[in-house]
Amino acid sequence: METVLKENEVNQKVEKGLIDCDVHPYLADFNELIPYLEEGIQKHMNIGRFEKSMLSNMNAGAFTFPKARYANPNHVLRLDAITPEGGVPGSDPVFTAQDLLDKHQHTYGILNIGHGTMAGYHNVEIAAGYTSGSNDWLYDRWVLSDPRFKMTMSVTPVAPDLAIEEIKRIGHKPGIVGINLQCINIPLGKRHFWPLYEIAQEYNLPIVLHPDCEGTAEYAPPNAVGPASTYAEWHTSLSLIAQRQIASLVCEGVFEKFPNLKFNFIEYGFSWLPSLMWRLDKNWKALRSEMPWVKKLPSEYIRSNVRLGTQPIEESFHPKDIVQLIQMVKAEDMLLFASDYPHWDGDERDSAFLHFPDDLKQKIFYDNAKNSYRL
Amino acid sequence: METMQASNSVSVVVCAAENLQPGQRKIAVVDGVEIAILNVDGELYAFRNRCPHQGVEMIYGTVSGTMLPSDPGEYIYGCDNQIVSCPLHGWEFDMKTGKSLFSSKVSVGNYEIQEIDGSIVLKVKREPKSVSLKNFRCSH
Ligand code: FES
């Protein structure tokens, strides 16, 4: 059989623009961060000129990141994204711009820091100091390097007053498009977070939740029923977190109190949405007097205020069924494209959305993100 | 039971007023349609005995007030004794209008009812062929 290639044939993309809601920048070396951390924080963490690495294997002296308990048996960073110099995938902004933004014609790539676990660190002063330093590092090294890079700023969820200070410090910067909050053992709907939501709404910055602290930070409970045994079990169960958090937000009336605030759940998938909407709607009809501030169907609040990253996209038995599922719950305006570059579980937009109609792709690839981040 | 034809509705005498004291309930069956009739502190209410959700008998529902729409974190009780909730899942209905509290499109269907000359009189749309009272387990 012969294949005839037509000359000058270009792959015509119908959609206009591409906003990638999940790109992960990594530190090539922890020392990159040192200039951004206050001396007192460095001293407390035993880093920078205070580094004491002796006996680090004995859990003494040296600082170690709160680590994820689950190790991917293969690789957690895609191997085709190792930098030309052999560096950690996602550690070189220039290469990431070529390998991701240029290759897929991104309009914007939204950076979510690849070491978010520190935001839920047990010592809140350190958590706040670290997140401030890492925000500045991310802005200087990445956002300023390419106008297509935008970022979510990290704040510590453990101490909302410190989170608010941080938002006041840098939340006005143009490259910052959302607030990266982390999962701790306080559900997102609780009053604990309301002052933070107030300022987020004032700054027109959506709250972004992305898996980092789940089961890792000291304040974060393991997935719902107890610790998983394997990475696969842990990773699959992450979607439960988003469901639980959205139920909390709806039932506590957060969307009544902050009607203009968006919550973008990135990397929890979305195929569970019908179940969540239907269950909440059903229960609200029966139990509304428990939450009289919830004045309309929970699914309506979810549709107006919650956005879901598509990645890791669920692969239905029949590929087209996932599209029907979206239509079933009218979620067309809720979904945000996320590549999760350079993670192992990322989605390639050309193949992952093959069966999606063009108008839906336009919304997922561009419009919905444009309308929910401060872009 | 007697019936009386008025302009666009028919009056059906359900029982003597003394047989429906405050706190008491009756089920009238009008042409096979069960209607729950309640005397709540002297106020009379009548509505379909079938919940529009999954059809259980509303006669067993609790009469109470409810939490009024409020700001997050606020509980304001109101509508005391004007709300009936379904004995199964608990959907709440305003007994005056029959409408559910979560959507005005969902209704248990209410009827006009009043006490006239010592009788409990129900208004229905057309002249019924059969009218009777139905027994139920009274636990209220
Ligand atoms: S059957 Fe009445 S609320 Fe479900």
Which two structure tokens, joined as six digits, stand for A206? 């959506």
| Contact status of B71 with chain A (Cβ, < 8 Å) | yes
In this structure, the residues whose C-beta lies within 6 A of any atom of ligand 1 are B 51, 53-54, 56, 86, 88-89, 91
Q: Report the C-alpha gap between B89 and A288 in whole angstroms.
A: 11
- Predicted local distance difference test score (pLDDT) of residue A219: 74
Residue B140: inside a domain: no
Atom of ligand 1 nearest to the CA of B91: 3
* Residues of the domain holding B81: 3-134
Contact A206, A244 (CB under 8 A): no
| Contact status of B76 with chain A (Cβ, < 8 Å) | yes
Q: What is the average per-residue pLDDT within B79-107?
A: 97
The question of ipTM being above 0.90 is answered as no
Q: Report the C-alpha gap between A125 and A14 in whole angstroms.
A: 48
Q: Which residue of A has its CA nearest to B87?
A: A286
- Predicted local distance difference test score (pLDDT) of residue A374: 98
Ligand 1 centre and the CA of B61: distance in Å? 10
Atom of ligand 1 nearest to the CA of B87: 2
- Predicted local distance difference test score (pLDDT) of residue A348: 84
- Predicted local distance difference test score (pLDDT) of residue A74: 82
Asked if omega into B52 is within 30° of 0 (cis), the reply is no
Nearest CA residue ID for atom 1, ligand 1 = B54
B69 vs A253: CB contact, 8 Å cut-off?
Answer: no
Residue B27: inside a domain: yes
Strands A149-154 and A176-181, how do they pair?
Answer: parallel
- Predicted local distance difference test score (pLDDT) of residue B114: 97
Which residues of A make CB contacts under 8 Å with B? 191, 252-254, 256-257, 284-290, 292-293, 295, 297
A253 vs B72: CB contact, 8 Å cut-off?
Answer: yes
**Phi-psi bin for B93: left (phi > 0), alpha (psi -120 to 50), beta?**
beta
Query: CATH number of the domain that B55 lies in?
Result: 2.102.10.10
Residue B139: inside a domain: no
pTM of the model: 0.90
* Residue ranges of chain A whose pLDDT lies below 50: 1, 8-11
Q: Report the C-alpha gap between B62 and B64 in whole angstroms.
A: 6
Total domain count, chain B: 1
Ligand 1 centre and the CA of B49: distance in Å? 12
Contact A131, A154 (CB under 8 A): yes
Atom of ligand 1 nearest to the CA of B52: 2
In this structure, what DSSP letter does residue A215 have? T
Domain boundaries, chain A: 19-370
B73 vs A253: CB contact, 8 Å cut-off?
Answer: yes
Nearest to B72 among A252, A284, A289 (CB): A252
Planar angle of CA A182, A79, A152, nearest 5 degrees: 25
Q: Report the C-alpha gap between A67 and B17 in whole angstroms.
A: 75
| Residue to test with chain A: of B67, B77, B86, B100, most A Cβ within 10 A | B67
Ligand 1 centre and the CA of B81: distance in Å? 19
For B24-74, write each residue's pLDDT tens digit.
999 999 999 999 999 999 999 999 999 999 999 999 999 999 999 999 999
Ligand 1 centre and the CA of A286: distance in Å? 8
Ligand 1 centre and the CA of B111: distance in Å? 20
Atom of ligand 1 nearest to the CA of A286: 3
B73 vs A191: CB contact, 8 Å cut-off?
Answer: yes
Which secondary structure element, helix H or strand E, spans residue B132, and what is its range? strand B131-134
A288 vs B92: CB contact, 8 Å cut-off?
Answer: yes
Residue A293, min C-alpha distance to chain B (Å)? 5
- What is the CATH code of the structural domain delimited by A19-370? 3.20.20.140
B71 vs A287: CB contact, 8 Å cut-off?
Answer: no
Residue B8: inside a domain: yes
